[in-house]
Amino acid sequence: EAQVTQNPRYLITVTGKKLTVTCSQNMNHEYMSWYRQDPGLGLRQIYYSMNVEVTDKGDVPEGYKVSRKEKRNFPLILESPSPNQTSLYFCASSLMREQTPLHFGNGTRLTVT
Amino acid sequence: TQLLEQSPQFLSIQEGENLTVYCNSSSVFSSLQWYRQEPGEGPVLLVTVVTGGEVKKLKRLTFQFGDARKDSSLHITAAQTGDTGLYLCAGPPTSGTYKYIFGTGTRLKVLA
């Protein structure tokens, strides 16, 4: 089954404790992206990747890191999480051809206390 | 900067009622996509509209792309409780960028 898998689904952590949210897709998509979703602010892009070893900042990259060492994986790293990073995070992938859709994971709800 | 504004932001209706959600922009888009996000899940594509004036139907859902390709609408006929969710319109990346543009979303609740 074609899918984007994120782990964990839920995560509660404390300020400053490094964490990684994993994302993996099995559709051989070149494009992968991370979003955060907050009430009243919609989906905001954090980072994206056009292919292996090619990443770039989205609209809200501060406090996040990403890597794309393999085509299927695109982990999101929070080196020193802060409470303002409490949010619902989505990973998505796409073929990046005209009119192709984004395929989203089921989300990771992160709480930083 | 391309922006997509959706209205209304929130909608609560009774089962069986009709509703329309709007997605507007001052920019021209080559196509627009509509996604539905159910609680606890990621957004899932419903439809892509490509041609100005195009109308697409998906069972009780009717999607329209404006003639000038700056706006789109989603009409639901005889809403059901299963239609409850967040509806998002999205524009594809423009040439030279890699950013999908997402609308602000319409949260729909259909009451039994």
- What percent of chain B shows pLDDT beyond 90? 84
Q: What is the pLDDT of residue A99?
A: 77
B residues 46-75 near A, CB within 8 Å? 48, 50
pLDDT for B50 beyond 80: yes
Residue B98 tokens read as 């890699």
Q: What is the pLDDT of residue A42?
A: 87
Which pLDDT tens digit goes with each residue over A53-72? 999 999 999 999 999 999 99
Spatial separation of the C-alpha atoms in residues A48 and A28, rounded to whole Å: 16
Mean of pLDDT over chain A? 95
Cβ contacts of B105 on chain A, cutoff 8 Å: 42-43
Q: Which H or E element spans position B58?
A: strand B55-58
Q: What is the pLDDT of residue B98?
A: 79
Spatial separation of the C-alpha atoms in residues B105 and A39, rounded to whole Å: 10
Residue A47 tokens read as 């980072």
Q: What is the pLDDT of residue B39?
A: 87
The reply to whether residue B102 touches residue A43, judged by beta carbons under 8 angstroms, is yes
A61 and chain B in contact, CB less than 8 A: no
Mean pLDDT of B54-65: 97
A105 and chain B in contact, CB less than 8 A: yes
Q: What is the pLDDT of residue B20?
A: 98
A107 and chain B in contact, CB less than 8 A: yes
| Å between B5 CA and nearest CA of chain A | 11
Cβ B74 vs Cβ B83: under 8 Å: no
What length does chain B have? 112
- Say what the alpha-carbon torsion angle B74, B77, B79, B84 is, to the nearest 10 degrees: -10
Q: What is the pLDDT of residue A41?
A: 86
- What percent of chain A shows pLDDT beyond 90? 88
Amino acid at B69: R
Which pLDDT tens digit goes with each residue over A22-65? 999 999 999 999 999 998 888 999 999 999 999 999 999 999 99
- Find all residues with CB under 8 Å of B96, minimum gap 6, and list them: none
User: Can you name the residues that pair with A11 across neighbouring β-strands?
Assistant: A110
Nearest chain A alpha carbon to B95: A98
Mean of pLDDT over chain B? 94
- Report how far apart, in Å, the C-alpha atoms of A24 and of each of A31, A70, A76, A110 are: 12, 10, 11, 18
pLDDT for A96 beyond 80: no
Closest-CA residue to B109 (of B40, B14, B35): B14
- Find all residues with CB under 8 Å of A57, minimum gap 6, and list them: A47
Pairing, β B10-14 against β B106-111: parallel
What's B81's DSSP letter?
Answer: G
- What percent of chain B shows pLDDT beyond 70? 98
A47 and chain B in contact, CB less than 8 A: no
Closest-CA residue to B22 (of B60, B58, B76): B76
